[in-house]
Structure 1
């Protein structure tokens, strides 16, 4: 049985697992209240990573946190007054988890997400205001390990909608090796910056 946490911490873990991205503290608290002692406990256990260098701070569930949640769902107990529908749903969920656990595909299933939605979500987390120009070098590391060619393909597709714009950095002297590696090559031009209109 995984280490026990109270209902608030369990709810936070589930919300972060379902979101499958970094989440600002203000957004998280709209769905599940994370207290400072709870945050410290989850960080110390290695289940959640919190970046306190930005305001508001942002949280992200780790693979260990996902594994904890899934074990809690399999071995945890429903509240005593749960309805028959809730019990049946919980039983089906356990079967799904055990099926993927046996095949070693649990984390892959949970981490999977529509790439375009993930790119937009990461952009929105980083942007200070709508249509802010954000470096691709800041976005790519937060896409759950998606391959560069996959991301490039998704970005080109998003550009064609007319709501996503990519541009080169005009001051090439400020470009880092990370910027060069993250650039999207279109024709003979390297694009380093992305701006998105509100969806």
Structure 2
């Protein structure tokens, strides 16, 4: 049985798990009110990580937090006065969790993201400033083993939005074997660098 938390803490954990990304405090507040005491309790338990060195602060669920949520879905109590629809939905979620628990891929299910979102997230982690040029050779290894062809399709789709830009490395002498392997081929040109506008 997971440690008990109040409804706001449970709701905050579920929101962070479903969003599966770093969430600004203002974004979290749009969905649930998490008091300072509750936030500190979740951080102390290792279920979320809050960066309060920035304004607004940023929250992110940990793998332990996801595991807690899933345990809570299986063995936690429904809120008082839950509707019949809520009870049925809760029962369905319990079946889903138990099924993936048996397969051993629960955390992966909730950590998975669509490829475009994952590419953008990796880019944002690597970029020092907005629209920074980043080598594709630095991005591809961090895409959870996604197939190169699948990534190429996603990159071309992103390029067509007009907010994601690609360029060849002008100094070919600095290109490594990894750069050549990671290049995006468009027409007869190999593109090694990507810059993304803020979404």
Question: What TM-score do the two structures reach when normalised by structure 1?
Answer: 0.74
- Matched ranges for 1:129-144 at <5 A: 132-134=130-132, 136=134, 140=139
Is contact 1:165–1:195 with CA below 8 Å preserved after alignment? yes
Is contact 1:21–1:122 with CA below 8 Å preserved after alignment? no
- The CA RMSD over aligned residues, in Å, is 3.6
Inter-partner Cα distance in structure 2 for 1:52 and 1:167: 36
Residue in 2 that maps onto 1:185: 183
Secondary structure class of the residue paired with 1:31: coil
Inter-partner Cα distance in structure 1 for 2:122 and 2:31: 19
Deviation at 1:37, TM superposition (A): 2.0
Is contact 1:152–1:184 with CA below 8 Å preserved after alignment? no
Is contact 1:24–1:125 with CA below 8 Å preserved after alignment? no
**1:117-169 Cα shifts (integer Å, max 9, x gaps):** 34446768999x9xx414547x959x774558465553233113433223478
Does the C-alpha gap of structure 1 residues 126 and 190 become closer, same or farther in structure 2, counting only changes over 3 Å? closer
**1:53-91 Cα shifts (integer Å, max 9, x gaps):** 332221111111001001011111112322222211111
Is contact 2:100–2:106 with CA below 8 Å preserved after alignment? yes
Deviation at 1:97, TM superposition (A): 0.6
Question: What TM-score do the two structures reach when normalised by structure 2?
Answer: 0.74
Secondary structure class of the residue paired with 1:8: helix
Inter-partner Cα distance in structure 2 for 1:35 and 1:114: 31
Q: How many residues are aligned here?
A: 187
Deviation at 1:184, TM superposition (A): 5.7
Deviation at 1:45, TM superposition (A): 1.1
Inter-partner Cα distance in structure 1 for 2:85 and 2:123: 38
Residue in 2 that maps onto 1:40: 40
Is contact 2:116–2:154 with CA below 8 Å preserved after alignment? yes
Unpaired segments of 5 or more residues in structure 2? 171-177
Does the C-alpha gap of structure 1 residues 39 and 126 become closer, same or farther in structure 2, counting only changes over 3 Å? farther
**Larger-gyration structure (1/2):** 2
Secondary structure class of the residue paired with 2:21: coil
Deviation at 1:19, TM superposition (A): 0.1
Inter-partner Cα distance in structure 1 for 2:4 and 2:118: 31
Deviation at 1:28, TM superposition (A): 1.1
- Matched ranges for 1:105-144 at <5 A: 105-120=105-120, 132-134=130-132, 136=134, 140=139
